[in-house]
Each structure stands twice: as C-alpha cells, then as structure tokens.
C-alpha cells in the first residue's frame, strides 16, 4: 500500500472514532436520572412512549435488554390522561420504582449501565 493509502485509512479511523465519541457523549448527556416518589404507579418499570417517537424504539430495546418483558409500556395514544397524571411531558420517559414507590425517573434513552446502577 502506498503512503497516501495509509494516511486515508488513518484519517477515516480517526473520523469514525470522533463521531462515535460525540454520539456517546450526546446520548449520555441527554439523560439525567432523577430520584422520585411515585407510589401511585406501583412497583416496577414504567415506560412512557408515543407512536411518533423515534427514540422510543431505542429506549424499548435498552429496556428489553435489561428487563426482558418485565416492564409496562404506556403509550400516549392509549392513555393521554395518564401522561398528565404522572407529570410526563416528553417521551421516552422511564420510571424504575421499588415497592415503596421510590425510584428513578429517566427522560430520554437511558443506557444499560444507568438502568442497572441507578434504576434499582
């Protein structure tokens, strides 16, 4: 391979690494877990979504990876009044609540790590 070919390969790899780093940083930055008390929701994982929400697909995939089918999905189209009752103003929103109703709220797509550490 010529010297020019190696330079192109190295530049492409650097560009890919930068794009990946920016994507990971942006994703982590968007989700700030907040401790909440929502006893009226009950214990478990509650996922608020919408049919028109593109990032809800990613959130659903992460939830399935961590919890399998052990979460409840509340779609805006099926229960719009529930969103207001639980102060959900954006989707995806995820509540991970213990038996006492205390837990964590995630707005945006949480990471698997966040769900495993802060979502318990």
Q: Do 5 and 50 fall into the same domain?
A: no
pLDDT the model gives residue 46: 95
Phi, psi of 13, rounded to the nearest 5 degrees: -65, -40
11 with 21, same domain: the answer is yes
Considering the domain architecture, whether residues 73 and 100 belong to the same structural domain is answered as yes
Q: How far apart are CA 9 and CA 33, in angstroms?
A: 39
User: Whole-structure pTM over 0.85, yes or no?
Assistant: no
Let me know: does 26 contact 95? Beta carbons within 8 Å. no
Write out the residue range of the structural domain in which residue 51 sits. 32-117
Find the CATH number of the domain harbouring 84: 3.40.30.10
| Residues of the chain under the 70 pLDDT cut | 22-30, 119-120
Residue 52 and residue 118: Cα distance in Å, rounded? 28
**Same structural domain, 20 and 38:** no
In the chain, how long is the greatest CA-to-CA distance?
Answer: 67
**Distance set, CA 61 to CA 2, 43, 55, 56, 111 (Å):** 43, 21, 10, 8, 10
Contacts of 46 (CB under 8 A, 6+ apart): 71, 72, 74, 86, 94, 95, 97
Residue 3 has a pLDDT of: 84
Looking at residue 53, its pLDDT comes to 93
Number of domains in the chain: 2
Q: How far apart are CA 22 and CA 18, in angstroms?
A: 6
Question: 51 and 18, same structural domain?
Answer: no
Q: 99 and 51 in one domain?
A: yes
**Cβ-based neighbour number of residue 43 at 10 Å:** 14
């Amino acid at each position: 391979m010529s010297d020019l070919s190696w330079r192109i390969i190295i530049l492409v790899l650097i560009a890919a690494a930068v794009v990946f780093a920016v994507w990971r940083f942006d994703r982590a930055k968007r989700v700030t877990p907040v401790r909440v008390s929502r006893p009226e929701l009950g214990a478990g994982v509650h996922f608020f979504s919408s049919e028109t929400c593109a990032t809800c697909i990613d959130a659903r995939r992460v939830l399935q990876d961590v919890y399998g089918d052990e979460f409840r999905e509340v779609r805006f189209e099926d229960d719009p009044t529930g969103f207001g009752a639980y102060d959900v103003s954006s989707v995806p929103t995820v509540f991970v609540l213990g038996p006492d109703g205390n837990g964590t709220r995630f707005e945006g797509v949480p990471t698997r790590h966040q769900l495993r550490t802060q979502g318990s």
